[in-house]
Structure 1
Amino acid sequence: MPVRVVIVPGNGAGNVQQCNFYGWLHRKLHCPPAVVCALRNMPDPVRASEKAWIPFMRNDLECAEDTIIVGHSSGAAAAMRFCESYKVAGIVLVSAYTSDMGDSLEAASGYFSRPWQWDTIRGNAGFIAQFGSTDDPFLPWSEQQAVADGLHAELHKFDDRGHFQNTAQPELLAVLQQKLKQLLAAQNESSEAAAE
């Protein structure tokens, strides 16, 4: 059974294959049959509304217990809210934050209308890794640190990545490859045990 990786972009991304690191990461990770990576244009891409994105992640992107969700910006908020209701293999949060920061578009998304269920998210995610940068032009570090503290995330902190909008993110790829290796090894062990 393949491990799924689903890349959930930030809002306003346009054609996600051509935006930020999404297409690059998809090409690096999509190695069927062992690893299947999904990257699709999202519904309601500007507002990134929770009411549109969470069902799309569940039904169209097929996020499930065998899935690693890589969420960037609004996609990180979506990944966290998804894990309040569903179990996943893990989440990798890039440029994550906890509030709408007074922005009306962020407020309209719905993600920030209630407290975060940190314990539930931790319980539903097999692992949680987070990437953030102190020089992010959109997110103060305090927002990113609040996510790391709430989720006890494996934090990868930088001071020169901004909002992680470069086309290549090698450290992100390395962490994902390590997590995939661990998941695939665990799958092999359980298959062998079942065969005995």
Structure 2
Amino acid sequence: MDNAVALVQAYLQVNGYFTVTEYPVLEAARHGIETATDLDVLAYRFPGAGRLLPAKTGGPERWMTTIDPALGCPADQVDMMIGEVKEGRAELNRAARDPQVLRAVLVSFGCCAEQHVAPVVERLLRNGVASLPSGHQVRLAAFGSTVEAGSHGYHAMELGHVVKFLQQYLRDYWDVLRHAQFKHPAFGFLMTLEKAARGGNR
């Protein structure tokens, strides 16, 4: 997995999203099936998502929930995000704006029936966000090292903000997280950095 994609995946998971990275979109070509593109990240969040820390001995349970306001996720609506991740400028590539690609993703994940998907994709490309017949929200997002000022027609976020948010999350919940071993490449590396910075002051 690309390092930048791994950072964004960790960030979205901390914010309560289920994620799929580098998702291949297939198409029927003239000489067989081909990969049209790989989408960097698809994310899905239910309202009220968070991490529950159960009490094994009957003591008080702990609810670990952190939602970054900059992410703009709705409080009372299922949110699906189709995201591109760049190490340079945050922007959507041509494939992420391809109506056929977006149709395939929404139908494949069961978010929208095939007979309803065309107008949803049209609104998504026009506004960067659309409501599905199910009541769910779907939106386009781009992550990168820089974000140009002005309207983009999609949600744009700097990777620097992503890193700072993850570091603050580690500090806020260090008393819990320091006991865990994380296999995720980005989050695990940030854990190692935090342990090294703290030294004996754990």
Greater strand share, 1 or 2? 2
Instruction: Provide the TM-score with structure 1 as the length reference.
Output: 0.28
Q: Which protein is bigger by CA-based radius of gyration?
A: 2
Instruction: Provide the TM-score with structure 2 as the length reference.
Output: 0.28
